Amino acid sequence: EWQASTDLKLTLYTYLRKQVPRIFCQKEESNPNEEEEEVERLLLHPLEYFLFGEDPDEGVKKLKQGSSSSQLCGRVFKEGETVYSCDCAIDPTCVLCMDCFQESVHKSHRYKMHASSGGGFCDCGDVEAWKIGPCCSIHDPEAATDMVTDECTLEPQLCERSEMLFRVLLNYFTDFLDWAEDRQLLALLKPEKDNTYACVLYNDEHHSYDHVIYTLQRSVNCDQAEAQNHTALIDKEPLRVEVLHSAVVAHQTLALRLGSWFQKIIGYSGFRQAFCRVALEPNTDQTSICCISRLMLLDATLYKARKIVHELIFCSMLMETEFKRLFAVEFTKLYKDLQNNFIDDDHERSISITALSVQIFTVPTL
């Protein structure tokens, strides 16, 4: 049905309108294992079936047969993960993950190791990051002469389907991360009967203890003593409080889950290039701003979701030479605004989008 549709957004949103609230907000008790199973079976598996045009397992096998391994590692570091730097690096920001370091020439050089603050990624395979030995033995040392974007090996129909799907889902993902309390759901996504609401507490490290008590009393109609008890539980993390329709919260939950799904799918170069093309397309609204720029400008308001966005940028834009250049242009255009947003933000620079400057302004060809 999806493949035969002339309007994929309409078809997909109609399906999500029914399934997403049912999975995430229409049950008396939440069961994380059951919820994850339903997300895979009812949401992600159908998306992958549409994407490949056949059983996803078969589609993945064909992709693996027709593609070579990447020259770039691109492993995104978790907080506290051990990383290695060497005197051979172009600058101190160039590092290797443990697996690549153990299989590289740098193992016998003068090197340093430290714990990552999270958010960076392994520079193995990037010839602009190393004076010698840019590739470990895992990442095709024969290809270390130049870092060139792989040719897209997707069949034309698969490439077209992937761009159609990414276009719909990336806008869905961005719209629900950029949600305002007074905004209304699109008619396509409005549930027919459900009229329940959720009191959502955001970690913004800004609002006062009394403000949380006051907002809880108004939002969930509880007395002051109960509101104080709730607030005492979250006192260590002062919060922004909003009341949102439960369907909005459900769609936001799926949007966050899609961030991880995107990372899995774009592990294949052809899909990664299709994703990058769509993410850099000017929007059709009056702003004409592309999705990736919109996400960067939202960074200071995304709270914990910003980590998902940063990892998505690492896994896509920074893994393809031509798209890295195009992303660098967008980043530079917005640089003043991003720095102003960071100044107003109350988080450390290491988790700000501005920290990506070391991945751009230190690269000679950029």
For residue range 60-81, list pLDDT tens digits in order.
Answer: 888 877 665 567 888 888 888 9
Check whether 138 has a pLDDT greater than 80.
yes
Is the domain spanning 82-143 CATH 2.10.110.30? The answer is: yes
Check whether 34 has a pLDDT greater than 50.
yes
Q: For the chain, which residues make up each domain, given as ranges?
A: 82-143
Regarding predicted confidence, which is higher, 73 or 140? 73
Regarding predicted confidence, which is higher, 149 or 230? 230
Q: What is the pLDDT of residues 231-290, one digit of tens each?
A: 776 665 545 667 888 899 999 999 999 999 999 999 888 899 999 999 999 987 667 799
- When pLDDT is averaged across residues 132-156 and rounded to a whole number, the result is 68
Percent of the chain with pLDDT over 90: 48
Check whether 309 has a pLDDT greater than 70.
yes
Check whether 104 has a pLDDT greater than 70.
yes
3-state secondary structure the chain: CCCCCCCHHHHHHHHHHHHHHHHHCCCCCCCHHHHHHHHHHHHHHHHHHHHHCCCHHHHHHHHHHHCCCCCCCCCECCCCCEEEEECCECCCCCCECHHHHHCCHHHHCCEEEEECCCCCECCCCCCCCECCCCCCCCCCHHHCCCCCCCCCCCCHHHHHHHHHHHHHHHHHHHHHHCCCCCCCCCHHHCCCCCCCEEEEEEECCCCCHHHHHHHHHHHHCCCHHHHHHHHHHCCCCCEEEEEEEHHHHHHHHHHHHHHHHHHHHCCCHHHHHHHHHHHCCCCCCCCCCCHHHHHHHCHHHCHHHHHHHHHHHHHCHHHCHHHHHHHHHHHHHCHHHHHHHHHHCCCCHHHCHHHHHHHCCCCCCC
Confidence class for position 186, pLDDT limits 50, 70, 90 = confident
Structure confidence at residue 18 (pLDDT): 92
Confidence class for position 202, pLDDT limits 50, 70, 90 = low
Structure confidence at residue 144 (pLDDT): 42
Q: What is the mean pLDDT of the chain?
A: 85
